[in-house]
Structure 1
Amino acid sequence: MSYFENIRTFVRVYELGNMSAAARDQRISAAVASSRISQLEDYLNVRLFMRTTRQLNATEQGEIFYTGACKILETIDEAEAAVSSITQSPRGTLHVAAPLGVGRRLVAPYAPDFKNEYPLINLRLRLSDRKLDLTAEGLDVAFFLGLPEDSTLRIRKIADCARVLCASPDYLKEHGTPQSPVELCDGTHDSLNLRYPGAPEFQWSLQTSAGVQKFAVKGPFESDDGDVLTNWALQGYGIVLKPMFEIAEHLASGTLVPVLENTPPIPIQMACLYTHRRHQDPKTRLFIDFMVDRVQKELQSRQP
């Protein structure tokens, strides 16, 4: 098995372009990852990467070997999936990603239940509000809010999630209650924006009497963590746009108050994303079916 583990490590180093990042992904030390690459190079009698103190780039031989290595690993994964399907004992590791709010509130709570039902399947859950590349990051399933840009991915819709604009009573007492979405753009009110590296210019899509319109909102605070925005809103620093399921408890308690209810945000789609090949794996199908059913029920329970 060591040779195949060396190949898996090589593929992750190639895809992530960083030995330490690949080691974290493989749950091994950087020293072990480096040793595996060295063993593979010794076995093949070629240099797979050119290393400097700051960069790691694949050689021509490394580029060629990567293509073949991916085919080898795909064949092994498909063979294991076929055996699992026949024996009805799916096993292996699932790499799952989700936005922070979705992962913390809707996915992570049910992960132990899934493990109890399928004890031979291990879960690696990664939470991030930034956009992820399923193929490059070796993910089996990614929960997603919005519409994916990659049209080659398969999608399993979970629900259309209602969203709301809201602020704390203290903020509204100090700044007043906005009467028009224009006030979000002209500096009258502060908006709290979710933004991550590479994100497009931020706009909020609201339903108006003239149809859906986009508003280029302004504010002094931005974060790539949606829960940080919620906390800022609770502390009175601005108006936030959030999925209803993330803040239902705050709306119920009155610590956040809906605003601009005549021009609400358009709902956002929640879905599972996966590649066609990943869905051939029984453990991936089982996980998606398991989570979609429970997340749908949880979303219904969180409606105010």
Structure 2
Amino acid sequence: MAYLDNIAVFVRVVELGNLSSAGRDMRLSPAVASNRVKELEKHLGVRLFNRTTRQLTPTEQGRVFYEGARKVLEAVAEAEASVADLSGQPRGTIRVTAPLGIGKRLIASGIPEFRDRYPEIEVRLRLSDHEVDMMREGIDVAFKLGILENSSFRMRGIMDCERVLAAAPDYLQRRGEPKTPEALIDERHDCLMLRFPGAREHFWVLQTPEGARKFEVGGPFDSDDGDVITDWALAGRGIVNKPRFEIEPFLRDGRLQVVLPDTPPVPVKLAALYPHKKFQDPKVRLLVDFMASRCQKMIGETLSEQ
């Protein structure tokens, strides 16, 4: 088993580019991760990495070994999943990612209950509004909220979510309420955008009588954290484009009010994405089923509260 563990460390070092990141990912110290790689090199009788002070890059032998090693680990994982499925006792580790907002509100809060049901499954959650490279990061399941494009990953749709434009009453009193989508641009309204390197949301897509239309809105500041944008809207700093369930409490108590209700943003889809090879893994199916049911219940309760 130690040899297989050494292979697993080697694969993560190749994928993440350095020992520290691979060690953190596998809950090992850099020293232990380094020793695992050295043991593997000693066993194979070749050097697997070119080492610099900042990064490890695989040698030609390392690249060749990586391709075979990755397939070995995938085959072992599939075999273990098949046995777990037959025994009814799923075990192992699931790496999960989600955006900050829904991750904190819907996903993270459900993981302890999932763990109580399935004590042999470990869940490692990474929350980020940035786009995560699922293959490079070794992610098993990614919960997404947005206008999802065609993907090479398998998708389990959870629900369609209404979006609204909203602003604080004092902002609308100070700047005036836009009467048409064009007014967002013509009147230079402060539109609060979720942006980060590689982000795709540089415009808002609104439902108009002519169909869905893109509007190149802008504002004096933006953020890569969705909750920060909501806080700015609450502080009267501009108009926000949000899934209704995220800001429903603020709409209900009057701290925010809907803007342009007749031309709302197009809905977004809440979904779980996972690599095709993970479809047969029982622990992945269990987590996706559990979270799908939980998200539907929690969002429904939020929107139906009086």
TM-score (normalizing by structure 1): 0.95
The amino acid that maps onto 1:132 is V
Aligned residue for 1:136, secondary structure, equals: helix
Sort the Cα spacing of 1:17 and 1:148 in 2 relative to 1 into closer, same or farther, 3 A.
Answer: farther
- Counterpart code for 2:14: Y
1:49 counterpart residue number: 49
In the TM superposition, what are the counterparts of 1:211-226 in structure 2 within 5 Å?
Answer: 211-226=211-226
Measured in 1, the distance between the counterparts of 2:27 and 2:251 equals 40
Alignment partner of 2:28: what SS?
coil
Contact 2:194 2:201 in 1 (8 A): no
Superposed CA offset, 1:34-61 (max 9, x none) = 2222221122121111121233211101
- 1:111 alignment partner, SS class: helix
Residue 197, structure 1, aligned to residue 191, structure 2: no
Return closer, same or farther for 1:187/1:17 CA change in 2, 3 Å cut-off.
farther
Paired residue type of 1:168: A
Aligned-pair CA distance for 1:232: 1.0
- Equivalenced residue count is 304
Give the 3-state SS of the residue equivalent to 2:39 in structure 1. helix
Are residues 1:65 and 2:65 paired? Answer: yes
Tell me the equivalent position of 2:281. Answer: 281
Query: Are 1:183 and 2:176 counterparts?
Result: no
Q: What does 1:91-170 align with in structure 2 at a 5 Å threshold? A: 91-149=91-149, 151-170=151-170
User: How far apart are the structure 2 equivalents of 1:137 and 1:205?
Assistant: 31
2:16 is aligned with 1:31: no
Secondary structure of the residue that 1:207 maps to in structure 2? strand
Retained in 2: the 8 A contact 1:187–1:218?
Answer: no
CA contact (8 A) 2:193 2:201 kept: no
Residue 187 to residue 200, structure 1, CA distance change in 2 (3 Å): farther
Bigger drift between 10-19 and 177-186 goes to 177-186
Between the aligned residues of both structures, percent identity stands at: 56
**Equivalent residue, structure 1, for 2:22:** 22
Note closer, same or farther for the CA distance 1:201–1:194 as it changes in structure 2 (3 Å cut).
closer
Task: Specify whether residues 150 and 264 from structure 1 end up closer, same or farther in structure 2 by C-alpha distance, changes over 3 A only.
Answer: closer
Q: Distance in 2 between matches of 1:215 and 1:227?
A: 23
Instruction: Show the counterpart of 1:40.
Output: 40
For 1:194, give the aligned amino acid.
L
Q: Give, as a single letter, the amino acid of the residue that structure 2 aligns with 1:160.
A: D
**Cα distance in 2 for residues equivalent to 1:135 and 1:127:** 16
Shift of 1:137: 1.1
Tell me the amino acid that sits aligned with residue 71 of structure 1: K
Separation in structure 2 between the aligned mates of residue 25 and residue 55 of structure 1, nearest angstrom: 16
Q: Does 1:246 align with 2:246?
A: yes
Matched residues in 1 for 2:142 and 2:115: separation? 18
Q: TM-score, normalised by structure 2?
A: 0.95
Confirm or deny: 8 A CA contact 2:206 2:264 kept in the other structure.
Answer: yes
Helix, strand or coil at the partner of 2:105: helix
Q: Give secondary structure in 1 for the equivalent of 2:232.
A: helix
In 2, distance between residues paired with 1:141 and 1:40?
30
Corresponding letter in the other structure for 2:117 = E
Q: Which digits, 9 at most, give the CA deviation of each residue in 1:268-292, with x for residues without a partner?
A: 0111101121111111111111111
Structure 2 gap segments, 5+ residues each: none
- Match of 1:279, as an amino acid? F
Deviation of 1:147 (Å)? 4.3
What's the offset of the Cα at 1:148?
Answer: 4.2
Distance in structure 2 (CA, Å) of the matches to 1:200 and 1:148: 11
Cα distance in 1 for partners of 2:200, 2:147 equals 14
Contact 1:187 1:219 in 2 (8 A): no
Deviation at 1:15, TM superposition (A): 1.0
Q: Give how far 1:174 is off.
A: 1.7
- Between 114-123 and 15-24, report the one with greater CA deviation: 15-24
Superposed CA RMSD in Å reads 1.5
Asked whether 1:268 is paired with 2:275, we answer no
Letter in 2 for 1:55: Q
Query: Following TM superposition, by how much is the alpha carbon of 1:124 offset from its aligned partner in structure 2, in angstroms?
Result: 0.7
